[in-house]
Amino acid sequence: MPLMTSKPMFDLAYDGGFAIGAFNVNNMELAQAIVDACAKEKSPCILQISKGARQYANIRFLRHIIDAAVEEYPDIPIAIHCDHGDTIDLIKTCISDGYTSVMIDGSHHPYEENVSLTRQTVDAAHAAGVVVEAELGMLGGIEEDVVGLDPAEYEKNVEKFLTDPQQAADFSKRTGIDSLAVAIGTSHGAYKFKHEAKLAFNRIEQIMKTCPGLPLVMHGSSSVPQEFIDLVNRYGGNMPNAKGVPEDQIAMAARKYGVCKVNIDTDLRLAMTAKIREVFFTKPAEFDPRKYLGPAREAITSMVQRKLHMLNSAGKTEAVIAHWKKLGCPLPAYYGGKKTGKKKAR
């Protein structure tokens, strides 16, 4: 099964009552755990590579790890996505590196600048058969290079930072994007909220009316599982008051609304860190990386399996593959698809 864009996944997800989990990859163990979970649950998935991950792990290593995952699990539909690309140069580099989906995040720019940057991205990506996600609205919190609003300020004035439905319609029409990351009350990082989160489902409904059929994306959607916070704190960590998005609200967004993609990164970090801390604390003489990275990988697999059921994407691989074939098995130019005159040998 070759890599694919997110289009065959989103086509089915929008009306099918499910969303695709988009999981960030920084190393081999994360990739193995995520794809193993998807194989066990027969779920399509999106593997996200952020700018920070590229700097940390070197894209050549990450691409070969993902290529290995595709070979190892040939029946799992997989897309490679650029998470929070911030410049057109980075986007073009990602396209040349074989990404099948890219995100350009111009949400921190003035509106017209966001439109212009996104339109340039769409032109470059679509010419290579790659799909584009953009963002409109503002989220709170901090994660890697993504600095949002102060959580306290965000919670206090959340309404004014949410995605405007009319603006979303104008933005979609003028840019030609394939999906839109919307601000609906989520937040980046582990310390998302001071109080219980409440997603703005009424805002999602309004966007669905002004942008019919446009796949919506939820960023900042880790639930920050309490069991991992407890392990971190029990074994020498210090994460008081960490709070995420309740899983029942994420499930509702995926099952009842037009949310087709849900980003999950913080929860992966928490699962890995919690299990490594547990091994270090309970077995202080242990120095074999396999003995602490192994349990971490197992914890991530189990947690991702739970997420896939939450998103209702478990069991959807056959339907996605069938739809991909019905579309003519489209592939980006990098993999021999649409010709651009710059096809890269592979």
Residue 130 CB contacts under 8 Å (≥ 6 apart), including other chains: 5, 95, 99, 100, 101, 102, 332
Residues 341, 160: Cα–Cα separation, whole Å: 45
- Residue in 1, 50, 2 with CA at minimum distance from that of residue 27: 50
Distance CA 49, CA 87 (A): 15
Sign of CA dihedral 109, 261, 49, 290: positive
Q: How far apart (Å, rounded) are the C-alpha atoms in residues 258 and 216?
A: 6
83, 86, 265, 267: which is the annotated catalytic residue?
A: 83
Amino acid sitting at position 343: K
Alpha helices (runs of H) in 17-58, residue ranges in sequence order: 28-41, 51-57
The answer to whether 15 is a known catalytic residue is no
The rounded distance, in Å, linking the Cα atoms of 177 and 132 is: 6
Distances (CA, A) of 258 to 15, 46, 192, 215, 222: 7, 17, 23, 6, 18
Active site residues: 83
